[in-house]
Structure 1
């Protein structure tokens, strides 16, 4: 594709994302799947244009309102280029000058860009939530969580995330996986916190490389790996991954169990569970089965107090993953948060029934917001006095020790994660 063609494709994709409540990555996958003429390099360039706008969306909207212009996909992309240093006439020249280019800028669009030409993306008059690219109602929650680190953590949440891999110890050691990746032209480095983690710089298509196809590595953020580590699933145990989705943490748990014992991946979505089948086979996992949780299902009742470990990786706002999903913070509402916290409490109440005396319940989210994390644990313990917190320590740096695991992008270089493990004492 020509640069002009990529620009037009980015405008079309951004317009679809702005009009759709679904996650941007799902929308982008559908968009690109129906345009097979777009090659891999073009896809990366189009994605970079769109994701750069999403990371700066509130500031761009503020600027366009300030100059009296509508925040259309065309102007969002054009204004970002102007506000990050490209002269307005040069930006205007990208429109309508060659085949497949977007139509020429209209007079009003040109005037808006001309008014932005002497400015940069940030401005002293911006409201704090706009400058930090956060929803207004979320900012107090982030301040409660991060205190004087608010600015640095919000800045980290606006940056692109690295690509983390988890070595599958069922098939290779970390050194063997490093060597296999190097042979495939992928230079990785061991992660700082996870004993199984590897990190690749930039965006690389690891899924076509032999180490991934052969099941030596899985894509998994280092923070997510630490949640699996915290679960402490051992060979011979009976383990339930209660909100398994497509099985990312199921794979890690099966690995720590050395394929011995029994792990059940549960979810309310049949398509998500079906998506785990290929991953389990590729990883060489033999001790896992799937169970679909349906309305009226008696499975939980029949399995009461039979599990050594129950992991609840609860549905959440994903506020800790906003560097990967910058569109999610733009679509999140207070109603969404209220509905999610009610759902999390209900899931915890159901999942705790599976934990046997002396067994452990691990609650985790990829959020950094207290209502989804500490507040959930406090409420759960008030409802279930036979559970007590088991402090975090195993295999983690001293600064992460405490009653609960709290990870953040700026401090830890991971996605934002929360986890708490509790033991049934009665």
Structure 2
């Protein structure tokens, strides 16, 4: 593709992502490129970098366009990003917009040429931008980040403007970390061990891991190192009965199966049946055969009542704001509001309360999110413990010694991982142990079930 054609492809893809909202941008882009298989790998990478650059700079680009009275849109954003961040000169950009390339953008008019000339040479981040604009965070959310992260809030939000690294989890069922690393090296992909997870490898750059034999043979899965720690801290072991209560597409289910060495019973539950079905291929590729999938009608499906007190480990990877994953999903930060957050908080509390019924006395309940907000994390756990005397919070240091080497990455009884401090996505994990059956809670929960029509 010519530079002008790449520019037009980026404009078209950015428009498609906007029109498909709230569908995730990566899924839209994947489908878009599949329909255009003639686009080569280098061109795909160049177009993707331009589009994701625009998504990561949405607030700052919008601020500049408004400042110059430029009508907002995909074309204006792509051109502005090329000027502000990629260092394209006004003259070079206008040459790409002269209409001489049949696959390039239409020619610029006088008004567009004027604002291009005025914008050229300016910095993407300007001293007059409000903090919420400069840090690419909704204004209403900024105080919540400051409350959760204190003086580190700005550094963490700046870190979330950058692309994420490519992390891999070695599948214990098929390979050691060294064997997986060697297999990837044979296909030209250099990796090095992760900092925290004993199963983590970090790839050198954004390489096509999914196209490798090591991936197809199930040696590795693409999974952020922080996400790997969630599964490890759950403490699943061979022979146990384990429930992944919000399994989704099965990333943590695969990790749990590895910790269980395919022995015991592993049940993957989710209310989104189609998403749960997508895990079947991943389970087969990874050689997992102790897992079953169980669609639920809601967090209070009758299945939960029938299996109360029957699991050694229950993992609740709760639906959340996803504020810890903005490096990977930059558009997600703009796709929920305060009402949506309040609804999530109520759902998280309901899921945690219901999933707790599955835990046997002496068993453990792990609550995790990929959020950095206190409301979704510490406050949910504190609220739950305050109403459940039969559950106690297990110290992180004790859990870490059981599964990992060295000191845990943070102090305190609960795990909080952040991009700037730990080089992972934002994650939160708390592990609770059930000491004895609670007399009133199960009856109360069951009565709510019986009241449903």
Q: Same fold (TM over 0.5)?
A: yes
Tell me which residue corresponds to 1:60: 61
**Hey, what's the Cα distance between the residues in 2 that align with 1:314 and 1:286?**
25
Q: Does 1:343 align with 2:353?
A: no
In terms of mean alpha carbon deviation, does 248-257 or 399-408 score higher?
399-408
Identify the match of residue 264 of structure 1 among 267, 280, 299.
267
Work out which of the residue numbers 415, 427, 439 in structure 2 matches 1:405.
Answer: 415
Gap regions ≥5 residues in structure 1: none
Contact 1:4 1:99 (C-alpha < 8 Å) held by counterparts: no
User: For each residue in 1:181-219, what CA deviation from the matched residue of structure 2 results, as whole angstroms up to 9, or x when unmatched?
Assistant: 111111110001000000002211111111111111111
- Matching of residue 208 in structure 1 with residue 218 in structure 2: no
1:247 equivalenced with 2:250 (yes/no): yes
Q: Equivalents in 1 of 2:10, 2:83: separation in Å?
A: 17
Q: 1:301 aligns with which of 288, 299, 305?
A: 305
2: CA distance between counterparts of 1:345 and 1:78?
Answer: 44
Residue by residue, what CA displacement relative to the aligned partner does 1:305-357 show, whole Å, maximum 9, x if unpaired? 00000000011111111001111112221122111111111111111110011
Aligned residues: 426
What is the correspondence of 1:277-292 to structure 2 with a 5 Å cutoff? 277-292=280-295
TM-score (norm. length: structure 2)? 0.92
- Preserved CA contact (<8 Å) 1:231 1:309: yes
RMSD: 1.3
User: How many angstroms does 1:7 deviate by?
Assistant: 1.3
SS at 2:153 equivalent? helix
Q: CA deviation at 1:40?
A: 2.5
Structure 2 match to 1:94 = 96
> Does 2:108 correspond to 1:105?
yes
Instruction: Indicate the SS of the match to 2:428.
Output: strand
Task: Describe the SS at the equivalent of 2:7.
Answer: helix
1:401 deviation in Å?
4.2
Question: What SS class does the counterpart of residue 133 from structure 1 fall into?
Answer: coil
How far residue 382 of structure 1 moved from its aligned partner, in angstroms, is 2.2
5 Å-filtered alignment, 1:65-76, equals 65-76=66-77
Does the aligned pair in 1 maintain the 2:323–2:426 contact within 8 Å?
yes
Aligned match for 2:140, one of 126, 137, 142: 137
Query: 1:248, CA displacement in angstroms?
Result: 0.5
Say if 1:166 and 1:225, in contact at 8 Å, map to a contact too: yes
Unpaired runs of at least 5, structure 2: 437-453
* Structure 1 contact 391–401 (Cα < 8 Å) conserved: no
